[in-house]
Amino acid sequence: MRFSANLGFLFTEHDLPDAIRAAKAAGFDAVECHFPYDTPPEQMRAALAETGLRMLGLNTWPGDRGAGDFGLAALPDRVSEARAEIARAVDYAAAAGVDAVHVMAGRTDGGAAAEDCFRSNLNHACDLAAEHGISVLIEPINTRDVAGYHLSTTDHAERIVDALERPELKIMFDCYHMQIMQGDLAKTLERLMPKIGHVQIASVPDRAEPDRGEVDYRWLLQRIDDLGYNGFIGAEYHPQATTKAGLGWMNTLCAD
């Protein structure tokens, strides 16, 4: 099993290039991030070349988080802003050598206008990403942590992927979010595997290191491997202390 360090949560004491180097030194096979836009893309590309790691993904800018924004793509009154941020994310990913862009939906009333807006913006994102060979990801996020998030279940994500029929578009399956929202992770992963572009893990309910909590990741990761998943497993959790101090899970989850 190959693990990716999510640098939005891990090694945050470093700037992004040094966080990439720290992830390499810690034994991660790849990295991913949230909002890298303060780092010039050429600096990221140089750090990736130096370490030999892949940067799997980044997020579109979420908007004004202080005002409650958590994404823009499903907000009908902010289409121009959403598309500008999608373009910025795709351009950054292309310049830095990033594999995928996660398009953040945002908080909505869940109505038809929001859904139509989200699908339209995703089509636009796929058009832009296809020019660079970049994937587009959508991620169901639990509504306990992010109340009102437009996309919160795998069924909804699957309907979008099926409706749009874009080869660039895949589901980011975060086991933490989906255990909270619906459980039955193994069966859901089995059904969705052809539509999954990335898998992430963290303990439930505290979103800490994944060798604790109510999900048996040692068993689940073996099941994911048996299903033929050949991607990376993204470690997107909040360390209980320092990132380095909590990395024993990497051996625990893969022990024979």
Residues noted as catalytic: 139, 236
Give CA separation, 113 vs 29, 91, 93, 109, 127, in Å: 41, 28, 29, 9, 21
**Residues 21 and 50: beta-carbon distance below 8 Å:** yes
- What is the DSSP-derived secondary structure letter of residue 137? E
Q: Return all residues near 61 (Cβ < 8 A) that are at least 6 apart.
A: 35, 37, 72, 85, 88, 89
- DSSP, collapsed to helix, strand or coil, labels residue 151 as coil
Question: How many C-beta atoms lie closer than 10 Å to residue 52's C-beta?
Answer: 9
- Beta pairing partners, 61: none
